[in-house]
Amino acid sequence: MSEETKTEMSVEQRALEELNVKIKGIGDSLGDIPATVKEEVDQRIKDISGDVKAYKEEMEEKLTKADERLTAAIQEQRAPAGVAIETREEDYGYGNELGGFDEMVAEVRAAGNGMGIPERLKKMHTGEVERRGLDTLTGAGGGYWMRPTFSDQLLQIPPAQQWLSSMVKTLPKTDPPNGTYTFNAFDQSGAKGVFGGVAVYSAQELVDLDETDYPSIMTVSLKPEKVGAFWTVSEESQANTPQMGSMMQPLINGAILAHRDSKIQTGTGVGEFKGFASSPAMIDIARDTADRFQYVDMVYMMARAMSNGGGRFVWICQKVTMLPELMFLTNGDGRLMWADNARDGIPAPTLGGIPVFFNEISPSMGTEGDMRLINLDYYLVKPGMGATLKSDMGILNFKKGEEMLKVSYYEDGKPWITSPLTLQDGTNTVSPFIQLTDVA
C-alpha cells in the first residue's frame, strides 16, 4: 500500500472517530432527559405527522373532484351540436319542437269523441296543471292544456311578418298568470307634461310651489280575459290528421294575430282589449279636404306626434283605398312624394320617414281614422295562461259529419296613457296617438 493511500485512510479514520465522539456526546446529554418527556415528544411528533398526512389526503381528494368537474364541463362545451339528446319531460312524447302537433290533435279528438284519454295526453295535461299551479279547466271541461311549445307557436308572432302585435309592449307573465296586473305610473294628464309629472325646479322656484304642482301617481291595471278560436273539420279532413295538423298551426296563428291586431285598434275594453282608436289620449286632426289625405294633413299630424316618444311611430291605414291616394300624394311644389317611378315598387313604404303599416281593419279613405299616426310603445299587452285545445262533436255536428275544434287562451291589452300631453308652454299638446278626422 502506498504512503499516499495510507495518508488518505488516516484522514478518513480521524474524521470518523471525531463523528463518533460527537454522537456519543449527544447520547450522553439525552440521557439526562426524563423518559416521560421523551415519550411526550415522540408522541407529539407522531400526532403532527398524522395531521399533516390527513390534511394532505383531504386536499388531494378535493383537487381530484374539482379536476373531474372541470374536465366534464370542458367536454360538454366541446360536444358536437348535433348530438342527439333524450326527449325532455315537457315534450310528453310528442316529438321535438317542429313536430308532434298533429299527434296531439288526433289524441284530443279521440278523447273528445269518447274513445278514452291516451296516456301521454293525460300526462301532459296533468303536468301542465301542476306546472301552472291550476286546479280548474280539466280535460273534461275546458280542454287539454297544450305542450308549452305548441301553445307558444300558436300565440307567437312569426318572424318577417307585419303585425301590430309585434310593436306593442308585452308585459312579463305573472303568477298567477290570469291575475290582475297593476302597476304605478306617473300621471301625465292635463298640464302635468310629457315627462309624466316628474317635476324639476330650482331652489328659488321651490319656495313658491304648492301641493298641486307636485307629481301624482296613477294605477294601471290589466286583467287577462279568455279568448277562443274555433273551427270545424269534415270527416274527410279527420281521416288525414297529419296533414290537417300541419295546416292548422299557421292558420290558427294567423287568425289569432289578425284578431289581436283588430282589438289593439278597435277593442271596446269590456271583456277584451281596449283599442287605441277610442283612447282619451287620441288627438284628432281635421282634414283639409273632404274624402282626401293630402300633404298638409300629413304635416299637421306629424306636428302633434310626441318628439320624445321614441322612434316607433307608424302610419296605419287600409291599403285598398289609401294606397292610390298615397302613391299620387304631392308636396307643395306639386312633386310626387312617394315614388318617382313604378320600377322601384314599394317594398318598405315610408311617409315623412315614418313606416306605413297597411292592414285590413282601418276605415276606408274619407272616414274618421282612415289615417292614424301611432306609437305603440304606449300600448301594453298582458299575456295570461297558455292555450288549451278541445274537441267536440255534438249531435248536430255528428249528423253533418263534422267536428268542432277550439283553442282557448287568455290576454289583455290597453293604451296606458290617459290624455294628450301638455307642452311646457301650457297650451299645445302632443300624443302617441293621432288620427285624421272629417273636415272641421
Q: Where are the domains of the chain?
A: 164-437
The b/e string for 207-223 (b: 16+ C-beta within 10 A; e otherwise) is eeeeeeeeeeeeeeebe
194-208, 228-242, 299-313, 397-411: least confidently modelled range: 194-208
Distance set, CA 32 to CA 29, 41, 72, 80 (Å): 6, 15, 61, 75
Q: Output the nine-digit C-alpha cell for 71.
A: 374536465
Q: 395 with 327: CB under 8 angstroms?
A: no
Of 24-33, 79-88, 365-374, highest mean pLDDT = 365-374
pLDDT of residue 337: 79
Comparing 55 with 419, which gets the higher pLDDT?
419
Comparing 159 with 318, which gets the higher pLDDT?
318
Per DSSP, 268 falls in state: B
| Gap between the Cα atoms of 387 and 285, Å rounded | 41
pLDDT of residue 245: 61
Q: Output the nine-digit C-alpha cell for 426.
A: 301650457
| Gap between the Cα atoms of 392 and 264, Å rounded | 30
pLDDT of residue 136: 45
The whole-model pTM stands at 0.66
pLDDT per position as a tens digit, 330-351: 887 888 877 655 566 655 688 8
pLDDT of residue 366: 92
Q: What is the mean pLDDT of the chain?
A: 75
Q: Is pLDDT of 276 > 90?
A: yes
pLDDT of residue 138: 43
Mean predicted confidence (pLDDT) in 215-238: 77
Q: How confident is the model at residue 280 (pLDDT cuts 50, 70, 90)?
A: very high
pLDDT per position as a tens digit, 45-64: 566 666 666 766 777 777 67
Dihedral of alpha carbons 412, 418, 419, 424, sign: negative
